[in-house]
């Protein structure tokens, strides 16, 4: 049961098998899911690839589900991208591992990436290495490399990246993004800019205050200027039509989403409620989401780096495969580990000296 | 109120004298802030006052430690504020303060200051609490701790030495250089649990989460080697399971979003009693909490437990070294503070590399960008594809500055931050260096407006004469340099029967005179001798002029020297020259042999077949039609007899030698656009085949020597081949570059010696000095008797004409004549044909019996012959309108009556459709005079500028009856204000003023 968004008629030929839920794009064994090709058209070039990144538990999967057509009133099990299970939440664990994909009827390709630098995934890796008697001292380096590869991969294969955050804003996340884009620039040596949209999930009423929004938008602009990211795409609260924010940094892609309210089966939110709330610093989740679904597709679609023309869906997949293989082999990634583990070697020396 | 740590250290012993001997506990607090929820909120709550409020206003960057001593708990609280605070973020990214720095440079401003203060906390605190806004452990914390541990190990000795100087400090503190191996605690503000859970369930789940988080944190910190079994290398410790080191804030502690709750309640109050009950529970809890602050589950309880547990373990533990007395703490802490905060032992660069290793990568990326910027600058220097060209390749000053600007813009768009000025400077320096060391191009401009392609230092140093005042600067150091724009044009001789490639001229003599002297076809034809300057003052000079003039005439045409050129005796030339001031065109006596078609053919054959001729070799490659056909069709065909000579490209093998890439490069190069001007009929035809089928057919009809099918089959591939052939043209270094000619130098000396005595440019209406030029820029030649031209078939021996355009236009001229005289002259001219001529008594028009005059009509044929740089030619039927005539429509009826009464453009768009479109220039006026006693007096006036006009000189040029004449216009117009360049685009420019000749009855001698 997937509800369809109504932007444009599907302009595709070829395979039209539609997915009922997201499937693996990148498998646990770090291979791309080749079966996916069956679902991709070899003529359609007017698709939009949107990827969600962000820390664990920031709401990436939920956001993508909503974007691909789910309704906040849907049951969790109806979500296209599986949201964090109760058990995972309660044990502070991740839900999504590697990358999941879903393609909706309007040929929006949605990619759900695992949480950035998730402590829980690293923990698993450390434990697994320990179990397998692999020198556990390698685990954090291995993990950093893997996180980096996933990010670099997302940078290259998406038109638009949605950075999901649940508070404003963790500099660790920003720094990780910026370091990765730096390596990406060194690796790909092109001027491709990927759209970056910062979506602030579970925003509180204080977060909605125009003055706060303005200051944050300015910060975001300052952080991502001169980077691989194009943060100025006009996808702002003002830009998508919320008059209160009309003149507040309207070009900065910064969207606020409040907490999804608990479901009330069989009931809809009375219309008058929204109107009553108008003067307050608060906007319903669904209200923003409804506009965002269409507006996000209006962001410019940067050409993929490997070609000068539009790629068909299948060509896109092939491009992604090639790039992933390149990331697997590239020495740049391996050497960039140094960025995160400067002292791993020096430590040992010092220790020896001291003792 | 909290104070800055340093201030607090200085003032404590005065303010807190009463507690000087109390043993104290020190807690550090670090973490992340949001606008609505600060990491110190919970601490303020614990202290029940707004103790920590931020004191950074006087700081350059908002990184500082706030200190507060709680006398109730005998605990010193140190709060580190830094990069994660909203103020810091705004300061770094939200305002223009550090606009010129890039992300990592901004970061590095903070990073070291932050890490060294964090280090300070780790050597002065018993416990350090990390506050997270979310509910996940930030693995970056592990990386920070690694850095801190590194710093600690580096500065340990120093701290130890300093502390050893103090007598009261506990021994453990001195030994370890720190108060304790601090206990780490973590507070997580938000929990992702559903709001509709009951309070009890929530508590239970939160405990579960705390347990899981503890496990993750332990595992990761252990992995990062900040928690070790060996206390010397271990930075910190975690408490055992009895006392939790992770605290997740309960809903009742989390910041309350009243509005949000209110709305939620409003929407669902009656519909969802469970949820509201849960909310009510939270509210009750909050109330309860205020009543009994000792609740173990909240943050207060957490801190209390931490302090109690620590104190209980006390000094005995190998984890907690010492709880010093307040007075001793302040004493020691001051020393440690001064050492750690003023530590200059590590250089700034090293520090940046340590804490923001990305900067190193930025630097190397920027360096790569600089290299690409330089490569971009050098692109056109390197990409010529031919070694010998690359060596001479250069930029003019303007090009250099443009290129440099582009490279700088590229750099500026890719490099940001502190590196930019440095790299920009480096770029400019390196590019200037490249430019000045051998790539500075000669600034000379050719007479057609193109730059010399040689570098100013690498000119072939050949003495050549072709430097007029306007061709190049006459500076001594430059006059011996041979300029070349690398561009060649296909140009036609005086009479129009032969075409030859020419180099873009830099000298006026080359442009308007020398080039035309090398053709055989019209070399010996009768020509009008224009008055030129004679250096009479010095007899030797006179002789030398004559020698040199004649020599240069023969030898430096297009820079190639000939040993086959037929020698004209010096004496003959001299005599011609001596008489040349008298404006006489040699009467074409019957003794003058009229050239037969075979002769033309012969003349062309000389060019076409002169394989043994060193001078011609180069050109002949392009002209040998037969060879080309063989190459293309692999068959031999005798095509020589074709009346239409075509300029042919060189043998294909030559093109094979050129790699395809080279061709592509040359074709792709913008600078060489003009190269493409050089063209040929076939190309023209094949171009037009696409859009002008009619003409194509006509052409076949016209080409009587070839069967139409053959023509078609032949021309298409030729066209294809020729598309790529242009690229070859530049390949060959002009022969002239390797030749020397002593006479040129002498000629130059002559120019200098007699400067001011001759006209340095073309005769122009604004100059009435009476001076003569050194050589004529115009030419008037008689190619033979008038019957050479047959109006039915058009021109037969003129190459490269647009199909259907190779006709002269009939022109009837009416004259009032003295009847008797006219009749008599007519009889003299054509005695033999009189019978036929007078078969019936001729009626005299408008006869005036009294005056004895009548009106006679005489018939001329004229043709205004245009030529483009590619050698394409056409006639016009009206000003700016190309003549097109289908032979199948019978004889051409169009007359030139209106044409000669109109101004005619000197330049107009050529018919060739290949890009870039070019302008064709009016180069020849064909005149066929009638067999009647009339004289045509030429007086062309060419206006190419707004003021004045060019003319042929002060003397009249008279053309006599029954001859075919060609007036060749100057190739370049150089007036008193310098050269007038042809238009770069296909556009109309300049004009030949109307009525450029007059006709009068001239009695026959």
| Among B143, B192, B263, beta carbon nearest to A57 | B192
Rounded to an integer, the average pLDDT of A74-103 is 85
pLDDT in tens, B920-931: 999 999 999 998
Average the pLDDT over B124-129 and give the result: 90
Q: How far is CA A56 from the centre of its chain?
A: 11
Average pLDDT over residues B263-291: 55
Confidence of residue B841 (pLDDT cuts 50, 70, 90): low
Mean pLDDT of the residues in chain B = 72
Give the burial string for A6-19 (b: 16+ CB within 10 Å, else e).
Answer: eeeebebeeeeeeb
The reported pLDDT for the residue numbered B613 is 37
Q: What is the DSSP string of B559-615?
A: G---SSSPPPPHHHHHHHHHHTTS--BPP--TTSPPPPHHHHHHHHHHHHHGGG-HH
Residue A169 in contact with partner chain B when CB distance is under 8 A: yes
* B343 part of contact set with chain A, CB < 8 Å: no
pLDDT band with cut points at 50, 70 and 90 for residue B720: very low
For chain A, how are helix, strand and coil distributed in percent, rounded to 5? 45, 15, 40
Give the whole-angstrom CA distance, residue B394 versus residue B365: 29
Highest mean predicted confidence (pLDDT) among A105-114, B246-255, B598-607, B647-656? A105-114
Q: Do B361 and A346 touch (CB under 8 A)?
A: no
At residue B117, does pLDDT exceed 70?
A: yes
Q: What are the backbone dihedrals phi and psi of residue A110, each rounded to the nearest 5 degrees, phi first?
A: -110, 130
* Percent helix, strand and coil across chain B, each to the nearest 5: 45, 15, 40
Which pair of structure tokens corresponds to residue A210?
């125009």
CATH 3.40.50 placement within chain B? 3-258+294-353
B150 and chain A: CB distance < 8 Å anywhere?
Answer: yes
Q: Does A76 touch chain B (CB under 8 A)?
A: no
B354 touches chain A (CB under 8 A): yes
Residue B847 confidence (pLDDT): 79
Kindly indicate the confidence band of residue B296, based on its pLDDT and cuts at 50, 70 and 90. low
What does the pLDDT look like over B613-630, one tens digit per residue? 333 333 322 333 444 344
The mean per-residue pLDDT over the stretch B309-329 comes to 74
Q: Is A263 on the interface with B (CB under 8 A)?
A: no
pLDDT of residue B734: 38
A196 band by pLDDT with thresholds 50, 70 and 90: very high
Per-residue pLDDT averaged across B431-459, rounded? Answer: 74
Could you give the CA distance from residue B955 to residue B949 in angstroms, rounded to a whole number?
A: 16
Contact B95 A204 (CB under 8 A): no
| Distance, CA of A323 to CA of A158 (rounded, Å) | 12
Q: pLDDT band at residue A50, thresholds of 50, 70 and 90? A: very high
Confidence of residue A343 (pLDDT cuts 50, 70, 90): very low
In angstroms, rounded to a whole number, what is the distance separating the alpha carbons of residues B912 and B920?
A: 9
Q: What pLDDT score does B971 carry?
A: 93
**Predicted local confidence at residue A3, as pLDDT:** 42
The three-state secondary structure class of B78 is: strand
pLDDT at B588: 36
Return the pLDDT at B207.
Answer: 86
B185: closest CA of chain A, how far (Å) = 16
pLDDT in tens, B739-796: 344 556 666 777 777 777 788 888 888 887 778 888 899 999 999 899 889 888 888 8
Contact across the interface for B194 and A57, Cβ inside 8 Å: no
Determine the Cα–Cα distance for residues B403 and B391; give it in Å rounded to an integer: 19
Lowest mean pLDDT across A74-83, B126-135, B472-481: B472-481
Strands (E), B635-735: none
Render pLDDT for B600-614 as a digit per residue (tens, 0 to 9).
Answer: 444 343 343 333 333
pLDDT bracket for residue A51 (50, 70, 90): very high
Three-class SS state of B310 = helix
Quote the CA–CA distance of B868 and B864 in Å, as a whole number. 13
Contact between B764 and B951 under an 8 Å Cβ cutoff? The reply is yes
**Residue B3 bridge partners (DSSP):** B67
**pLDDT-derived band at B368, boundaries 50, 70, 90:** confident
Q: At what angle do helices B258-268 and B273-291 cross, to 10 degrees?
A: 150
**For residue A337, is pLDDT > 60?**
no
B892 CB-near residues (< 8 Å, 6+ apart): B791, B794, B807, B809, B810, B885
Quick one: pLDDT band at residue B347, thresholds 50, 70, 90?
low
Top mean pLDDT of B163-167, B634-638, B952-956 is at B163-167
Q: Are B1003 and B821 in contact (CB under 8 A)?
A: yes
Domain ranges of chain A: 23-354
Pick the closest to residue B145 from B235, B33, B239 (CA basis). B235
* Pairwise CA distance, residues B378 & B319, whole Å: 65
Instruction: State whether the Cα torsion B915-B917-B921-B926 is positive or negative.
Output: positive
pLDDT confidence bin for B197, thresholds 50/70/90: confident
**Which residues 219-238 of B have a C-beta within 8 angstroms of A?**
219-220, 223-225, 230, 232-233
Residue B175 is predicted with a pLDDT of: 83
Find tokens 């594809």 and name the residue: B385
Question: Which backbone phi and psi does B909 adopt, to 5 degrees?
Answer: -60, 135
- Which SS3 state, helix, strand or coil, does residue A123 take? helix
- Give the model's pLDDT for residue A347: 40
Pairwise pLDDT comparison (B850 vs B262), residue with the higher score:
B850
User: Of the candidates A170, A29, A164, which has an alpha carbon nearest to the alpha carbon of residue A110?
Assistant: A164
> Cβ A342–B361 below 8 Å, yes or no?
no
**Residue B257: pLDDT over 70:** no
> What is the β-pairing status of strands A108-113 and A48-53?
parallel
- Name the band, by pLDDT with cuts 50, 70 and 90, for residue A249: confident
**Half-sphere exposure (Cβ direction) of B314: Cα atoms closer than 13 Å:** 3
Q: According to the model, what pLDDT value does residue B908 have? A: 93
Average the pLDDT over each of A303-317, B614-628, B819-833 and give the range with the smallest value.
Answer: B614-628
CATH architecture of the region A23-354: 3-Layer(aba) Sandwich (3.40)
Contact of A112 with A96, CB cutoff 8 Å: yes
Going by C-alpha positions, the residue among B452, B447, B487 that lies closest to residue B470 is B447
pLDDT at A134: 60
CB neighbour class for A186 (10 Å; exposed up to 12, middle 13-18, buried from 19): middle
Burial of A275 (0-12, 13-18, 19+ CB in 10 A): exposed
Q: Contact A164/A59 with Cβ under 8 angstroms?
A: yes
Across the interface, of A90, A175, A259, the residue whose CB is closest to B107 is: A175
Cβ–Cβ contact A201 with B under 8 A = no
Cα separation, A59 vs B200, in Å, equals: 26
Neighboring chain A residues of B84 at a CB cutoff of 8 Å:
170-171
At B713 the pLDDT is 37
Predicted confidence (pLDDT) per residue in B455-507, tens digit: 665 555 444 444 444 444 344 444 445 777 778 889 999 989 999 888 888 88
Contact A122, A158 (CB under 8 A): no
Dihedral-angle region of residue B38 (phi above 0 means left; psi in -120 to 50 means alpha; beta otherwise): beta
Distance CA B28, CA B118 (A): 9
- Kindly state the average pLDDT of the residues B971-994: 89
d(CA A351, CA A347): 6
pLDDT at B538: 44
> Both tokens of residue B344?
């200059």
Q: Is the pLDDT of residue B842 over 80?
A: no
Residue A185: what pLDDT? 82
Place of tokens 């698993």: A124
ipTM for the predicted complex: 0.86
The distance between the two most distant Cα atoms of chain B, rounded to a whole number of Å, is 153
The predicted model gives B152-163 an average pLDDT of 87
pLDDT of amino acid B110: 82
Q: Half-sphere exposure (CA, 13 Å, Cβ side) for A128?
A: 10
Facing B358 at nearest CB: one of A119, A179, A204: A179
In Å, what is the CA distance from B183 to each residue of A354, B73, B226, B319? 22, 18, 12, 8
- B38-51 pLDDT, tens digit per residue, is 888 888 888 888 88
User: Which residues in chain A are contacts of B101 at CB distance < 8 A?
Assistant: none
- pLDDT above 50 for B104: yes
Bigger pLDDT: B645 vs A313:
A313
Measured in degrees and rounded to the nearest 5, phi and psi for residue B307 equal -65, -45
Other Cβ atoms within 10 Å of B599 Cβ, number: 18
Beta strand B127-132 pairing with B183-188: parallel
> In the predicted model, is pLDDT for residue A145 greater than 70?
yes
CB-defined contacts A:B, below 8 A: 208
Stronger pLDDT, B13 or B788, i.e. the higher one: B788
The confidence score (pLDDT) of residue B948 equals 87
pLDDT of residue B352: 65
Question: What is the pLDDT, as a whole number, of residue A158?
Answer: 92
* CATH code assigned to B3-258+294-353: 3.40.50
pLDDT at B878 over 50: yes
């Amino acid at each position: 049961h997937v509800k369809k968004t109504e932007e444009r008629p599907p302009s595709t030929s070829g395979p039209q098998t539609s997915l009922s839920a997201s499937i693996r794009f990148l498998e646990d064994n770090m291979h791309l899911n080749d079966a996916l090709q069956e679902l991709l058209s070899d003529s359609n070039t007017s698709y939009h690839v949107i990827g969600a990144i962000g820390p664990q538990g920031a709401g990436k999967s939920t956001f993508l589900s909503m974007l691909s057509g789910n309704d906040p009133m849907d049951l969790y099990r109806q979500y296209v991208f599986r949201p964090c299970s109760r058990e995972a939440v309660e044990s502070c664990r991740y839900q999504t591992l590697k990358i999941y994909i879903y393609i909706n009827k309007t040929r929006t390709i949605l990619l759900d990436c695992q949480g950035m630098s998730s402590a829980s995934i690293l923990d698993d890796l450390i434990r697994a290495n320990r179990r397998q008697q692999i020198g556990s001292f390698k685990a954090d380096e291995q993990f950093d490399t893997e996180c980096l590869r996933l990010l670099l991969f997302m940078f290259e294969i998406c038109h638009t990246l949605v950075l999901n955050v649940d508070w404003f804003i963790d500099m660790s996340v920003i720094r990780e993004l910026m370091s990765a884009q730096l390596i990406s620039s060194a690796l790909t040596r092109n001027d491709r800019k990927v759209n970056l949209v910062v979506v602030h999930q579970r925003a509180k009423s204080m977060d909605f205050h125009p003055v706060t929004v303005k200051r944050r938008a300015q910060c975001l602009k300052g952080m991502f200027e001169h980077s691989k990211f194009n943060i100025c795409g006009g996808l702002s609260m003002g830009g998508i039509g919320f008059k209160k924010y009309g003149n507040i940094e309207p070009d900065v892609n910064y969207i606020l989403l409040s907490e999804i309210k608990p479901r009330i089966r069989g009931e809809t939110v009375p219309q008058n409620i929204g109107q009553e709330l108008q003067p307050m610093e608060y906007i319903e989740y669904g209200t923003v989401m409804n506009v965002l679904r269409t507006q996000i597709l209006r962001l410019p679609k940067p050409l993929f780096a490997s070609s000068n023309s539009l790629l068909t869906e299948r060509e896109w997949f092939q491009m992604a495969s090639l790039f992933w293989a390149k990331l697997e082999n590239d020495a740049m990634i391996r050497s960039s580990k140094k960025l995160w583990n400067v002292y791993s070697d020096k430590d040992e020396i010092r220790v020896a000296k001291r003792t | 109120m909290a104070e800055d740590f340093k201030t607090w250290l200085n003032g404590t012993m005065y303010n807190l004298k009463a507690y000087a001997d109390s043993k104290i506990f020190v807690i550090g607090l670090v973490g992340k802030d949001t606008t609505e929820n600060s990491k110190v909120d919970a601490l303020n709550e614990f202290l029940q006052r707004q103790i920590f409020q931020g004191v950074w206003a006087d700081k350059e960057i908002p990184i500082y430690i706030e200190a507060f001593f709680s006398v109730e708990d005998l605990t010193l609280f140190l709060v580190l504020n830094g990069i994660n605070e909203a103020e810091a973020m705004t300061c770094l990214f939200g305002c223009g303060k550090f606009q010129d720095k890039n992300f990592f440079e901004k970061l590095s401003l903070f990073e070291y200051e932050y890490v060294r203060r964090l280090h300070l906390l780790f050597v002065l605190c018993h416990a350090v609490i990390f506050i997270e806004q979310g509910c996940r452990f930030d693995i970056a914390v592990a990386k920070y701790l690694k850095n801190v541990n590194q710093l600690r190990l580096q500065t340990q000795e120093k701290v130890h030495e300093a502390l050893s100087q103090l007598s009261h400090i506990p021994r453990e503190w001195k030994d370890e250089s720190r108060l304790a191996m601090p206990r780490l605690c973590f507070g997580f503000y938000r929990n992702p649990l559903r709001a509709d859970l009951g309070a009890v369930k929530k508590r239970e789940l939160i405990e579960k989460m705390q347990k899981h988080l503890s496990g993750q944190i332990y595992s990761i910190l252990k992995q990062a080697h900040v928690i070790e079994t060996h206390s010397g290398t271990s930075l910190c410790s975690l408490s055992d399971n009895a006392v939790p080191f992770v605290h997740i804030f309960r809903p009742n502690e989390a910041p309350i979003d009243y509005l949000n709750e209110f709305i939620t309640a409003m929407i669902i109050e009656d519909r969802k009693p469970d949820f509201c009950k849960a909310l009510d529970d939270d509210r009750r809890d909050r109330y309860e909490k205020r009543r009994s602050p000792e609740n173990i589950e909240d943050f207060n309880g957490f801190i209390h437990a931490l302090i109690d547990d620590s104190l209980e373990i006390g000094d005995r533990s190998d984890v907690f070294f010492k709880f010093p007395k307040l007075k001793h703490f302040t004493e020691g802490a001051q020393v440690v503070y001064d050492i750690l905060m003023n530590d200059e032992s590590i250089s700034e660069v090293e520090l940046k590399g340590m804490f923001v290793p990305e900067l190193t990568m930025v630097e190397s990326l920027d360096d790569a960008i600089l290299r690409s910027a330089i490569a971009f600058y050098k692109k056109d220097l390197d990409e010529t594809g031919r070694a010998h060209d690359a060596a001479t390749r250069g930029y003019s000053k303007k090009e250099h500055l443009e290129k440099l600007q582009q490279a700088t813009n590229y750099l500026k768009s890719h490099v940001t931050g502190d590196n930019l000025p440095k790299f920009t400077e480096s770029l400019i320096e390196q590019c200037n260096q490249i430019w000045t060391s051998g790539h500075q191009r000669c600034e000379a401009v050719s007479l057609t407006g193109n730059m010399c392609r040689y570098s100013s230092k690498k000119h072939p140093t050949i003495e050549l004469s072709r430097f007029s005042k306007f061709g190049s600067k006459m500076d001594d150091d430059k006059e011996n340099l041979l300029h070349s724009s690398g561009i060649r044009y296909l140009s036609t001789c005086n009479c129009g029967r032969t075409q030859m490639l020419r180099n873009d001229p830099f000298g006026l003599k080359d442009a308007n005179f020398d080039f035309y002297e090398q053709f055989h076809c019209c070399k010996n034809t009768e020509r009008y001798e224009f008055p030129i300057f004679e250096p009479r003052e010095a007899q030797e000079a006179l002789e030398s002029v004559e020698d040199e003039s004649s020599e240069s005439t023969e030898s430096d045409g297009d820079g190639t020297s000939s040993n086959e050129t037929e020698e004209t005796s010096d004496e003959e030339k001299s005599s011609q020259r001596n008489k040349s001031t008298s404006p006489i065109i040699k009467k074409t006596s019957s003794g003058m042999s009229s050239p037969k078609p075979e002769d033309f053919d012969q003349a062309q054959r000389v060019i076409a077949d002169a394989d043994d001729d060193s001078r011609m070799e180069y050109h002949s490659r392009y002209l040998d039609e037969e060879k080309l056909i063989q190459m293309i069709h692999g068959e031999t065909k005798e095509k020589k007899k074709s009346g239409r000579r075509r300029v042919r490209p060189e043998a294909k093998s030559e093109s094979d030698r050129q790699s395809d890439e080279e061709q592509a490069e040359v074709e792709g190069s913008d600078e060489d656009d003009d190269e493409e001007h050089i063209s040929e009929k076939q190309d023209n035809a094949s171009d037009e085949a696409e859009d002008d089928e009619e003409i194509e057919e006509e052409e076949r009809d016209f080409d009587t020597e070839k069967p139409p099918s053959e023509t078609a089959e032949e021309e298409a591939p030729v066209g294809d081949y020729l598309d790529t052939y242009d690229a070859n043209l530049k390949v060959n270094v002009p022969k002239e570059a390797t030749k020397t000619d002593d006479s040129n130098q002498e000629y130059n000396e002559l120019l200098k010696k007699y400067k001011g005595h001759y006209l340095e440019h073309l005769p122009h209406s604004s100059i009435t000095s009476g001076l003569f030029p050194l050589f004529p820029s115009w030419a008037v030649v008689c190619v033979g008797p008038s019957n050479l031209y047959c109006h039915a078939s058009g021109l037969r021996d003129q190459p490269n004409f647009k199909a259907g355009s190779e006709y002269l236009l009939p022109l009837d001229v009416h004259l009032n004549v003295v009847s008797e005289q006219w009749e008599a002259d007519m009889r003299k001219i054509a005695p033999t044909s009189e019978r036929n001529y007078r078969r019936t008594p001729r009626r005299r028009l408008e006869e005036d019996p009294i005056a004895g005059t009548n009106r006679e009509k005489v018939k001329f044929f004229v043709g205004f012959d245009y030529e483009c740089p590619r050698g394409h030619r056409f006639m016009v039927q009206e000003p700016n309108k190309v003549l097109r005539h289908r032979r199948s429509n019978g004889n051409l009826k169009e007359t030139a009556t209106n044409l000669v009464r109109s101004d005619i453009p000197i330049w107009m768009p050529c018919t060739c459709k290949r890009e870039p479109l070019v302008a064709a220039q009016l180069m020849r006026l064909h005149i066929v005079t009638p067999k009647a006693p009339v004289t045509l007096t030429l007086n062309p006036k060419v206006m190419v500028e707004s003021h004045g006009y060019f003319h042929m000189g002060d003397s009249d040029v008279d053309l006599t009856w029954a001859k075919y004449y060609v007036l060749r216009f100057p190739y370049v117009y150089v007036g008193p204000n310098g050269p007038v360049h042809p238009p770069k685009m296909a556009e109309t420019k300049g004009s030949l003023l109307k009525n450029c000749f007059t006709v009068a009855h001239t009695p026959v001698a």
